[in-house]
């Protein structure tokens, strides 16, 4: 690939990624802006974020920037995440807490919190469509659903019994180590190991989490006396959550396999690129 072709694909890749992140990016922008400028004294900040997320979702659907199928993903993620949030922020667990006041909430959880998880599901569903994902060596779907069910249960159960996350990581590796994800940027489907793709997304979310805690959206126990960077160990939790999110999206999206003809077309595209580079 020539430098010109690389820069072109890199630019288009960035545009598609920004498009896929539109809901999460909107929430993160509001979170940062309202931390330093929020003039609405009659409406709590958390409630403003909740209402804004709903309005923005309606806007995306009305302008057809988001499909109804993708909106279903957001609703499901909101429900699954809110249930976990209620447990994690309960007075007996207190894994983290929301320091500001709110009206729209359940227990210790403002309802906008579920949308932060929904943004992850929205990103995966939108990226799936925009990059026309395909896969090779994808494991049995039922087994993946069974695995993420245990992952979800472990988010609750590790407070009472042994934490099985490293066992779950090992099972994840055994199940997906051969799986590659193919994504189309311009014409050719590029590819990488799916496990590595999940790591990159987890890392990005960890950076976003640091921004969220810095702007006082939620706080971990070791941040109550003053902000500090979120432990890198949290990447393990985000990685499992990304996997859970991904498998949930597979319930509404077909898993298109990368076929032999796709491989031949990929090789032909590589040859065509090489020929174009040789032409003076």
Measured between alpha carbons, how far is 187 from 276 in angstroms, rounded to an integer?
Answer: 15
Q: Alpha helices, DSSP H only, in 63-103?
A: 68-88
pLDDT at position 129 is: 94
pLDDT at position 41 is: 92
Which residue ranges in the chain fall short of pLDDT 50?
275-276, 279-280
pLDDT at position 166 is: 96
pLDDT at position 17 is: 96
Residue 134 CB neighbour total at 10 angstroms: 19
pLDDT at position 69 is: 86
Query: pLDDT of 257-280, one tens digit each?
Result: 987 555 555 555 555 555 445 544
pLDDT at position 96 is: 97
CA torsion through residues 190, 192, 195, 196, sign: negative
Measured between alpha carbons, how far is 179 from 171 in angstroms, rounded to an integer?
Answer: 14
DSSP letter at 105 equals: E
């Amino acid at each position: 690939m020539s430098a010109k072709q690389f820069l072109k694909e890199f630019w288009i890749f960035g545009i598609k990624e920004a498009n896929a992140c539109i809901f999460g990016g909107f929430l993160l922008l509001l979170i940062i802006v309202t931390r330093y400028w929020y003039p609405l004294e009659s409406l709590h900040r958390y409630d403003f974020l909740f209402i804004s997320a709903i309005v923005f979702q309606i806007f995306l659907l009305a302008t057809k920037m988001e499909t109804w199928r993708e909106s279903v993903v957001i609703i499901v993620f909101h429900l699954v995440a809110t249930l976990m949030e209620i447990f994690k922020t309960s007075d007996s667990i207190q894994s983290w807490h929301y320091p500001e006041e709110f009206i729209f909430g359940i227990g210790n959880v403002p309802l906008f919190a579920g949308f932060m998880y929904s943004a992850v599901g929205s990103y995966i569903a939108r990226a799936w469509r925009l990059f026309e994902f395909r896969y090779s060596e994808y494991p049995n779907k039922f087994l993946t659903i069974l695995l993420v069910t245990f992952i979800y249960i472990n988010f609750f159960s590790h407070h009472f019994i042994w934490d099985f996350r490293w066992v779950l990581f090992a099972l994840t590796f055994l199940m997906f180590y051969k799986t590659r994800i193919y994504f189309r940027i311009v014409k050719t489907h590029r590819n990488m190991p799916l496990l590595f793709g999940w790591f990159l997304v987890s890392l990005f979310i960890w950076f976003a989490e640091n921004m969220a805690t810095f702007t006082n959206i939620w706080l971990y126990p070791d941040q109550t006396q003053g902000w500090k960077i979120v432990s890198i160990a949290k990447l393990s939790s985000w990685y499992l959550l990304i996997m859970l999110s991904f498998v949930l999206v597979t319930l509404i999206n077909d898993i298109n396999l990368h076929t032999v003809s796709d491989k031949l077309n990929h090789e032909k595209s590589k040859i065509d690129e090489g020929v174009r580079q040789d032409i003076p």
